[in-house]
Amino acid sequence: MSPGMTLFSVQAILILGAEDGSRIFAKYFSPAHGAPAAGSGSSNPYADTKSQKAFEKGLLDKTAKQTGDIILYDNRIVLYKMESDVMIYIVGSLDENEILLYNTIIALRDSLHLLFKQSVDKRTIIENYDLVSLAIDEIVDDGIILETDPTIIMQRVSRAPTQDVQLGRIDLSEQGVNNLAQLGRSKLADWLRQGL
């Protein structure tokens, strides 16, 4: 593997209020084991809240009047989308694949649209913060992009967990436990006979 190759792609995911620049959601990632990401020079240049807020304020000032989807800011590639009254940002290192980051921000935007079945705005994001957080965790884990299909993301986030065994059908009486132990002994004996 080349020294510059890594799965670590995303340095930050940000959702900021477009009018006032307020932080709605912010998640910064550091490469595993404290190793610097390719092209970044340090493991996490925004380690404290003060530097993060300064980066976010500068980023919002820079993108407020832009009409594109991608900029170069503070030696980082930043992809952004405006949705109603919020700005969604994906931040990657200088030598990261822009198409991969673009697919990631599109996946986030589209999965939020599918989850909310309405416009994505500040109030909806705050009211459904748990779903937003789960969707982002399904898309990116520790800076590694895992999924970019919005339909799959929406299904994973909105589906209730399933139980394999219904707890009401388990017999926890003394006879039930004895039956279970007998079944285990017979299965073990069958397994040992087949193995010999």
**pLDDT tens digits for 80-124?**
999 888 999 999 998 888 999 999 999 999 999 999 887 889 999
Confidence category of residue 125, pLDDT binned at 50, 70, 90: very high
Domain spans, the chain: 10-158
Confidence category of residue 169, pLDDT binned at 50, 70, 90: low
Task: Report yes or no: 151 and 114 within 8 Å, Cβ to Cβ.
Answer: yes
Confidence category of residue 168, pLDDT binned at 50, 70, 90: low
Mean pLDDT for the chain? 84
Amino acid at 114: L
- % of the chain exceeding 70 in pLDDT: 83
Predicted local confidence at residue 42, as pLDDT:
46
Strands 76-83 and 70-73, by their bridges, are antiparallel
Confidence category of residue 37, pLDDT binned at 50, 70, 90: very low
Is 10-158 assigned to CATH 3.30.450.60? yes
Amino acid at 54: A
Q: Tokens 């989807």 identify what position?
A: 69
Residues 6 or more apart whose CB falls under 8 angstroms from that of 157 comprise: 111, 115, 131, 134, 135, 138
Total-model pTM: 0.74
